[in-house]
Amino acid sequence: MARGKIQIKKIENQTNRQVTYSKRRNGLFKKAHELTVLCDAKVSIIMISSTQKLHEYISPTTTTKQVFDQYQKAVGVDLWKSHYEKMQGHLQKLKDVNRNLRREIRQRMGESLNDLGYDQMVNLIEDIDSSLRLIRERKVFSYFFSLFLFYQQLRNVEEIHRNLVLEFDHARQEDPHYGLVENEGDYNSVLGFPNGGPRIIALHLPPNHHHNHHPPNHHYHHHHHPSLHSGGAASDLTFALLE
């Protein structure tokens, strides 16, 4: 039975159109390969489907560039000339922009001012003043932000200090000798006070230790502190370390 004649027009159904494209593309590439083998021809086929997919066939004995070069030579045209001219024009514009930017930088540094007129000089001064104003605003913002972070850290340290003092007072209520050095050991209890207050050192001294004996090269202020003083043969003293 003879196959009916197919009417050549656009296939509206997308699925059928894609199937027909795939089948005929493969048939066309097969014919191109036959021409290459049977006739020693150089064949190049570039196809782009309606879905923007690229399909290409090129004879094994050549390349696509070689085919384009032979086409330009045979026809006597330069396919790349217009594109090259556009690239050259774009490159020249970039060079002009770069040259203008370099000149503006030199002018802002006080150089290349001889070619400027009065109006241009006034505009340059206004631009520099505007830039300086923005820089100063940014500097002030950076300063206050750093100050904010510092006070935030300070509040955290003060909160930690208050908690430690509360823990210390609670521990002293349970054990009056808490935090005091015994058996003639070196002191290991130093209390810091906020807002630049004195540093208090609590010492537990043996009975035969004189109160007026201090290590050399240090200045101490001696006073009794009721919260750190306890009875017994040994003396519990506090000293405010003067730095």
pLDDT tens digit sequence for 153-174: 999 999 999 999 888 888 888 8
Report helix, strand or coil for 49: coil
pTM: 0.36
Question: Are β-strands 190-191 and 199-205 bridged in parallel, bridged antiparallel, or unpaired?
Answer: antiparallel
pLDDT at 94 over 60: yes
**Who has greater pLDDT, 130 or 233?**
130
Residue for token pair 């043969």: 233
pLDDT (0 to 100) of residue 127: 87
3-state secondary structure of 221: strand
Of 4-8, 23-27, 138-142, the poorest mean pLDDT is in: 4-8
- Phi and psi at 7, nearest 5°, equal -80, 130
Residue 203: closest CA among 194, 218, 195: 218
In sequence order, the β-bridge partners of residue 53 are none
**177-228: pLDDT as tens digits:** 666 555 444 444 444 444 444 444 444 444 444 444 444 444 444 444 444 4
Tell me the residue ranges of DSSP E strands in the chain: 44-48, 54-58, 190-191, 199-205, 220-223, 235-241
Separation between Cα atoms, residue 64 and residue 57, nearest integer Å: 9
Provide the pLDDT for residue 158.
92
pLDDT at 175: 77
179's CB contacts (< 8 A; 6+ apart) are 168, 171, 172, 189, 202
- pLDDT tens for residues 210-222? 444 444 444 444 4
Most confident of 19-28, 78-87, 178-187, 191-200: 19-28
Handedness of CA 186, 192, 193, 198 (dihedral sign): positive
